Chains A and B, each alone.
Chain A
Amino acid sequence: MTLLLQEWSGGDSSAADRLLPVLYDELHRIAAGALRGERRGHTLQPTALVNEAWMKLADQNAPWKNRAHFLGVAAQAMRRILVDHARRKSAQKRGGDALRVTLADVAATESNEVDLVRLDDALEKLAALDERQAKMVTMRFFAGLTVDETAEALGVSEKTVKRDWAAAKAWLHRELGGGR
Chain B
Amino acid sequence: MTPERWREIQLVFHEALERPRAERAGFLAAAAAGDAELETEVASLLASADGDEGFLETPARPPEEAPRSRIGPYDVVREIGHGGMGTVFLAMRADEQFRKRVAIKVVRRGMDTKAVLRRFRQERQILAGLEHPNIARLLDGGNTEDSLPYLVMEYVEGEPVTTWCVSRGLGAREKVALFRTICAAVHFAHQNLVVHRDLKPGNILVAEGGAPKLLDFGVAKLLNPEVSGQTLDLTGASLRVFTPEYASPEQIRGERITTATDVYALGVLLHEILTGRRPGAEPGRTKRTLPADLDTIVGKATRPEPARRYASAEQLSEDLRRYLEGLPVKARRDTFSYRAGRFFGRHKASTAAAALVVLSLVGGILATARQARIARAERERADRRLEDVRKLAGSFLFEFHDAIATLPGSTPARELVVRRALEYLGTLAKEASGDPAAERDLADAYERLAEVEGGGSGPNLGDTKGAITSLRTALAIREALTARPEAGARERESLAVSHGILSKLLLKSWELEPAREEGRKAVALLEEIARTDSSARVTLRLGGTYHNLGLLEDLLGQRQDALATLGKSTAAYAAAAAAKPGNVDARRGLALATYERASVYNHSGDLPAARAEAEKAVAVYESLLANDPGNGRFKMDLAMALHDLAEFASGLKNVPEALVRHRRALGLVEELAAADPRDARARVAVAYCANGLGESLSMSGDSAGAVALHARAARLSEAVLAADPANAYARRNLARAGTGGRRPLAPPRAADPVGSRRGARLVRPRPGRLAGDGPRPQAPGRRCRGPRAHPESHGALR
Contact = CB atoms under 8 A, between A and B. Distances in A.
Interface of A: 28-38, 44-47, 49, 51-52, 55-56, 60, 64, 67, 78, 81-82, 85-86, 88-89, 92, 95, 98-106, 108-112, 114, 116, 128-130, 137, 140-144, 148-149, 152, 163, 166-167, 169-174, 178-180
20 contacts: A35-B109, A36-B85, A47-B59, A56-B234, A60-B399, A95-B145, A99-B71, A99-B144, A101-B145, A104-B66, A105-B65, A129-B6, A141-B60, A152-B412, A167-B13, A167-B45, A170-B48, A173-B49, A174-B45, A179-B48
Contact of B46 (A88, A99, A129, A170): A170
Nearest to B5: A129
B48 A55 contact: no
Contacts of A67: 413
A88 B146 contact: yes
A62 to B, nearest CB: 10
Given A29-B110, A56-B233, A100-B70, A89 B146 contact: yes
A167 B60 contact: no
A46 B63 CA distance: 11
B110 A178 contact: no
Given A33-B238, A129-B3, A49 B52 contact: no
Contact of A149 (B50, B65, B68, B412): B412
A26 to B, nearest CB: 10
A170 B52 contact: yes
A82 B63 contact: yes
A56 B234 CA distance: 7
B291 interface: no
A37 B61 CA distance: 15
B67 interface: yes
B61 A44 contact: yes
The binding surface of chain A is classed by DSSP as helix
Nearest to A128: B3
Interface in B481-537: none
A101 B68 contact: yes
Contacts of A137: 56
Nearest to B86: A36
Contact of A60 (B85, B144, B400): B400
Nearest to B2: A129
Given A129-B3, A130-B6, A173 B51 contact: yes
Contacts of B400: 60
Contacts of A45: 59, 61
Interface in B625-651: none
Contacts, number: 181
B191 interface: no
Contacts of B7: 130
Nearest to B71: A99
B48 A174 contact: yes
Interface-centre pick from B67, B111, B146 (highest chain A CB count, 10 A):
B146
- Most central of B10, B14, B234 by chain A CB within 10 Å: B10
B17 to A, nearest CB: 7
A161 B239 CA distance: 39
A31 B52 CA distance: 29
B25 interface: no
Given A99-B70, A170-B46, A178-B52, 6 more contacts: A45-B61, A51-B416, A60-B399, A111-B58, A129-B2, A172-B56
Contacts of A140: 56, 59
B766 to A, nearest CB: 32
A171 B110 contact: no
Interface string B257-285: 00000000000000000000000000000
A89 to B, nearest CB: 7
A103 to B, nearest CB: 7
B59 A111 contact: yes
B235 interface: yes
A85 B148 CA distance: 13
B662 to A, nearest CB: 32
Most A C-beta atoms less than 10 A away, residue of B65, B145, B234, B412: B145
Nearest to B14: A163
A180 B407 CA distance: 49
Nearest to B147: A88
A37 B84 contact: yes
A95 B55 CA distance: 29
Interface in B213-255: 233-235, 238
A92 B48 contact: no
B410 interface: yes
Contacts of A100: 69-70
Nearest to A126: B6
B734 to A, nearest CB: 23
Nearest to A152: B412
Nearest to A55: B420
A76 B405 CA distance: 29
A166 B55 CA distance: 11
